[in-house]
Structure 1
Amino acid sequence: MTQIQHRPDHQLKTAVTDELAWTPSVNAEEIGVAVTDGVATLSGHVGTYPEKEEALRAAIRVHGVTTTADKILVRHGENVPEDADLAREAMIVFDRRTVVVPKDSVQVEVRDQVVTLRGSVDWQYQREAARSAVASLPGVSGVRNLITLKASTTVPPADIKLKITAALARHAPGFAQHVEVGIDDGRVTLTGEVLTPAERRSAEQTAWFAPGVTSVDNQVKLSG
């Protein structure tokens, strides 16, 4: 496999700063950037939790950034909701999304404007939908998604592996042959080497789509 060309940290810092400024939903002037060995650390403050998420996504989009470290604080203005009010708003949101997130499958706790989600659902997309539903609520400073996935008793491990391997070949034939899929009681382990962080994330997202998957351990490395 062709090796990835690593960019110096100072170039990555400039690129991340430019990408933040390019992202319209982020106030880049309030965010600091530091890069060490390809790890981008973002600091400073933002006005909402979704803006914080957008900033972190912008940084990881930059070619050469391997991962991000989050030191961004969410600073709300006046009239910050009480924790109990946030918890009630979260449950109202879930009542409206019962088609995506099964009713009574998720429990909510709020402390210091940080929302903790617990419970159990069938699919990763439902777990992500629950997180997304509360992340955009006014006053939220963070989300801890502790929702677990139910193990399937009907999908054999060999079938899960075959489905993931086939999906990887459909989605990304350029690197699919470099990713190995292991499965143990619904727990997927990905190994191998790819060229970019985007390919690494793509492999993980593909694995989550398979029925019966309860966790994904992404051990895929970057070539080089």
Structure 2
Amino acid sequence: MSDVSSKIKAALEREPEVKSDVDEINVVENDVIRLQGVVTTLGAKRRALRVAMETTEHGLVADGLRLRPQQQRGDDQIAATLDQALRGEVEFQGITIDTADALAEEPDGQCIMYSVDDGVVRLDGVVESLSHRRLAEVLAWWTPGITEVDNRLRVKPAQEENDGELAEALEMVFSKDPALRNHEINALVRDRQVHLGGRVASEAQKQRASADCWCLPGVHEVRNELQVFPTA
């Protein structure tokens, strides 16, 4: 193992979000450094890549990590569930939604085209805002059985990413999660680091809030200080 690989492995072992999965992560050095393996949570995947990027001199790390699905499902089942979620989302009303195979050409205007191959969801098309792009990816990650989301949705007109937009997207995600929508959760975003405060009714809901944060592309770190107050 090279010095770079050793440094990355050591850094991963020190990362709380990753250390339980570190034995399943391989550091492969070719033209670029690549992380490969299977992890148990999306947070572990996101943090492993971020830690590796911060450890290398050039900051370039290819993503070969996959999520271990909690439920084994076929591609057709995954596609059917995702289709229902996308079509049922009120934010996507007026957007053409269909499989990439069904749409031979990208239609004019907004569209979301999806495909599923061996548990990997790919999203293509055009949406009007970064929040729409993020929401589509969240709905994909919420779909049972997937191992990866390849989000190639484009935003037209282009928008600049910033902490305020990311915080608004996160607030929208919490409002759409049935497990969290009725709870007081405050999200502060600074330099793509999310700080959660407020209260929820169970430890499971607290962990769900962290998981929802990691579903949003662009989040680099999550600090969860939610207080648990069980309801009577």
TM-score (norm 2): 0.49
Deviations 1:70-93 (A, max 9, x none): 33355546x511212212222343
Distance 2:40 2:86 in 1: 24
Q: What SS does structure 2 have at the residue aligned with 1:81?
A: coil
Partner residue, 2:222: none
Distance 1:33 1:131 in 2: 26
Distance 1:16 1:121 in 2: 36
Partner residue, 1:45: 38
Partner residue, 1:69: 62
Tell whether 2:31 aligns with 1:25.
Answer: no
Q: Is the 8 A contact 1:116 1:146 kept in 2?
A: yes
Tell whether 2:153 aligns with 1:147.
Answer: yes
Q: Is the 8 A contact 2:53 2:60 kept in 1?
A: yes
Tell whether 2:95 aligns with 1:89.
Answer: no
Distance 1:50 1:102 in 2: 30
Relative to structure 1, is the Cα distance of residues 14 and 70 closer, same or farther in structure 2, using a 3 angstrom cutoff? same
Distance 1:97 1:22 in 2: 39
2:116 to 107, 110, 113: 110
**Identity of aligned pairs, percent?**
25
Distance 1:89 1:51 in 2: 25
Q: Is the 8 A contact 2:66 2:148 kept in 1?
A: no
Deviations 1:31-51 (A, max 9, x none): 1224578x4322233345664
Distance 2:138 2:7 in 1: 28
Q: Is the 8 A contact 1:102 1:121 kept in 2?
A: no
Q: What SS does structure 2 have at the residue aligned with 1:139?
A: coil
Amino acid at match of 1:23: E
Partner residue, 1:213: none
Amino acid at match of 2:8: V
**Bigger CA radius of gyration:** 1
Q: Is the 8 A contact 1:48 1:140 kept in 2?
A: no
Q: CA RMSD in A?
A: 3.7
Relative to structure 1, is the Cα distance of residues 15 and 125 closer, same or farther in structure 2, using a 3 angstrom cutoff? farther
Alpha-carbon offset, residue 113 of structure 1? 1.2
Specify every segment of 5 or more residues in structure 2 that has no aligned partner in the other structure, as ranges.
96-110, 163-190, 193-232
Partner residue, 1:127: 133
Q: What SS does structure 2 have at the residue aligned with 1:86?
A: helix
Distance 1:124 1:23 in 2: 29
Query: Which one scores higher on RCO, CA 8 angstroms, separation ≥ 6?
Result: 1
Q: What SS does structure 1 have at the residue aligned with 2:143?
A: coil
Residue correspondence of structure 1 range 72-221 to structure 2 within 5 A: 72-76=65-69, 79-94=71-86, 97-99=89-91, 101-102=92-93, 104=95, 105-151=111-157
Relative to structure 1, is the Cα distance of residues 44 and 63 closer, same or farther in structure 2, using a 3 angstrom cutoff? closer
Alpha-carbon offset, residue 121 of structure 1? 0.7
Alpha-carbon offset, residue 134 of structure 1? 0.9
